[in-house]
Structure 1
Amino acid sequence: MALLAASIHAEESPALRISSLPRLAVRHPLVFTGGGLLTLVIVAALSAPVYAGDPMIMDPFKLLQSPSTQAWFGTDSLGRNVFARTMYGARISLVVGLLSTMVAALAGLMIGVTAGYIRSFDNFIMRVMDGLMSIPTILLAIALVALTGPGIGILIVAIAIPSTPSTARLIRSVVLSVRERPYVEAALCGGARLPRILWRHILPSSIPPLMVQSANVCAGAILTEAALSFLGAGVPPSIPSWGNMIASSRLYLSIAPLNLFAPGICLAITVLAVNLLGDGLRDMFDPRSKQRR
């Protein structure tokens, strides 16, 4: 036990973590590439007030101007800085994507563990999940926005609800497999209580597939937010978002193409980074992967 504790502390040391980055890039390039791109997007979004300028200022004398030193991506139809709005729009996509993923992951984890381990609840819970999976995300979001008005909170709820069943079904399948293993049966025979079995044996086996699934859900949530904002059912038009930027600039594609391509390319890079990270995590946690050595 002492040797195990010492090895754990050694692995957690900052020097070892830094030295392990090149090895991570070689053994798991998808994780390194996707995580690096996503980190750059997050840093660029958080530091936007330092370098991007004000995304809300309108200048009627600078409508649809070409890129310049004052506006790197030009201006839109209301004279606003497209570069500033693109950088600030990353915040909306990241907040909606990450928070809706967290809600779906936590709800799916609890529901999946309950359905997989407590078999008397399994049939009822899974039928409810099947019903939720049949609800189209976009139609649900439009209905909720019509009832409550546009906002980030209602958008997160509308995306998280249809994303929860797929996570719950995945965790349930993991729990059904783990609960039949010898070490779980040995713990039961030894008198271990249910909370201890769940904490020590069931949850650790559920976290790796949950992380991979969360990456896939996050990528879908970012795209869904952009689609809903494009349709006018996302965040209010006054808030810069990649989706409503693309919607408002599509009429001026021939005059100011950067108004559409700038948020579109940033959206594609962000989704690509999350997908690469998810694929890399899947390869990392899969013992049959060729990258696992």
Structure 2
Amino acid sequence: MGIYSEEISNISQKSNDNLFDFAIVDEKKAEQTGYSNYSYWRSTWQSFLKNRIAVFLLVVVGLIIAFVIIQPYLPYQKSPTEIYIDETTGSQARNIAPGSEFWFGTNSIGQDLWSRIWTGTRTSLFIGFVVAFAEVIVGISVGALWGFSRKLETPITQLYNIVENIPTTIVLILMSFILRPSISTIIIAMCITGWVEMARFIRNQIVILRDREYNLASKCLGTPSYRIILKNLLPYLISVIMLRMSLAIPFAIGAEVFLTYIGLGLPISEPSLGNLINEGRVLMMSPDLRYQLIFPSVVLSIITIAFYIIGNAFADAADPKNHV
């Protein structure tokens, strides 16, 4: 019996020697197995490219922005403020229909509409981008502090209640009366109340996220508050921030058009889409002069619709749930 047991143990020992080897630690292989080439922004961009309509509109907007920048330096361009004289009559070239000389025609005092439309588009886009950037910076900063810091919650809430209960239209009108009508006046007036909606939304989202386990663990480890906000909270809100920013641009342009409509916008000497649409609105009942309303309205419509669709598409693409 003892001999039989000894033979079995010898067979088992030989089998174990053949089946198992000592593991050797290889740091390079360990790094390879733990490496992932996933990139959030690359995945976001790939997801965005799947929306062909949004990509097409992004190209259109990019071409418009590039064109309005280089347009004054192109050959055969006319001045947007100069009043042109009809050589045959010796008087102002008023209300000339679109043609080879004036591509978009002229307005009621003989100014070239082609140059005025692109100059006005450049002005309106500048206002829209500056206002949107200011709203995002102020809105995110105030909203993050409002939602994360319990000490600042009460004073910021009171400030929010004051600003929110003042209609934006009243603020725009008062600022236009107090300050001289100009681009800076419109930007300041829009920025006074424009950050409120962004701040409120950011605050509500941060209140939901701030007491989750990983944030509590970061606090216990002594992580600074600003780092928790930047690393743990705001990345979850990128899609919403992009959407709000893209919508702020057409909103700012629309507000400029509204101020011009009620007579408190930019001066007539400063071409803008608001001025051009307001001038064309007066002539819309005349079939021969409707081109003065149609051309700037088409440009404004393309810009606002494009930013809206691009913003929604990018917000969906930035949502981590849609990444693969």
Give the alignment's TM-score, normalised by structure 1. 0.87
Matched, 1:110 2:141: yes
| The one of 294, 299, 307 aligned to 1:274 | 307
- Mapped to 1, the partners of 2:120 and 2:169 lie a distance apart of 20
Native 8 Å contact 1:150 1:236 kept in 2: yes
The equivalent residue for 1:145 is 176
Question: Which residue of 2 is the match for residue 54 of structure 1?
Answer: 79
Equivalent residue runs for 1:197-236 within 5 Å: 197-236=228-267
The residue aligned with 2:186 is 155
Alpha-carbon distance in 2 for matches of 1:75, 1:152: 24
Look up the match of 2:159: 128
**Structure 1 spans left out of the alignment, 5+ residues:** none
Q: Flag the 1:201–1:287 CA change in 2: closer, same or farther, 3 A.
A: closer
Q: Alpha-carbon deviation of 1:193?
A: 1.9
Counterpart mapping for 1:1-293 below 5 A: 7=37, 24-25=48-49, 27-51=50-74, 52-59=77-84, 60-253=91-284, 254=286, 255-287=288-320, 293=324
C-alpha deviations, 1:244-287, integer Å up to 9, x for none?
11222323231311111111111111101110111112221335
Contact 1:93-1:222 at 8 Å conserved across structures: yes
Q: How many residues are aligned here?
A: 283
For 2:222 and 2:151, the matched residues in 1 are separated by 21
SS class of match (2:141): helix
Query: Retained in 2: the 8 A contact 1:38–1:270?
Result: yes
The Cα of 1:214 is off from its aligned counterpart by 1.1
Specify the code of the residue in structure 1 equivalent to 2:189: A
CA shift, 1:8, in A, is 7.3
Deviation at 1:77, TM superposition (A): 0.5
Paired letter, 2:306 = A
- Once residues 207 and 24 of structure 1 are traced to their aligned partners in structure 2, the CA distance between those partners, rounded to angstroms, is 14
Matched residue SS, 2:289: coil
The amino acid of 2:318's aligned partner reads F
- Which residue of structure 1 lines up, in the alignment, with residue 18 of structure 2? none
Please identify the structure whose Cα radius of gyration is greater.
Answer: 2
Deviation at 1:48, TM superposition (A): 1.7
Partner Cα distance (1:157, 1:207) in 2: 26
Q: Distance in 1 between matches of 2:160 and 2:220?
A: 33
CA drift of 1:210 comes to 1.2
Cα distance change of structure 1 residues 115 and 36 upon mapping to structure 2, 3 Å threshold: same
- Say if 2:48 and 2:313, in contact at 8 Å, map to a contact too: no
State percent identity of aligned pairs. 25
**Structure of greater relative contact order (alpha carbons < 8 Å, 6+ residues apart):** 1
Aligned partners of 2:239 and 2:316 also within 8 Å: no
Could you tell me whether the CA contact under 8 Å between 2:186 and 2:265 is conserved in 1?
yes
CA distance in 2, matches of 1:110, 1:132: 16
Decide whether the 8 Å contact of 1:229 with 1:244 is kept in 2.
yes
The one-letter amino acid of 1:54's match is S
Give the AA of the match of 2:281.
Answer: R
Shift of 1:243: 0.9
Q: Deviations over 1:22-65 (max 9, x none)?
A: x743x233541332232122112112203443111102431000
Which residue in 1 is equivalent to 2:16? none
How much is the aligned-residue C-alpha RMSD, in angstroms? Answer: 2.6
Distance 1:133 1:30, change over 3 A: farther
The 1:71–1:5 alpha-carbon spacing in structure 2 relative to 1, beyond 3 Å, is farther
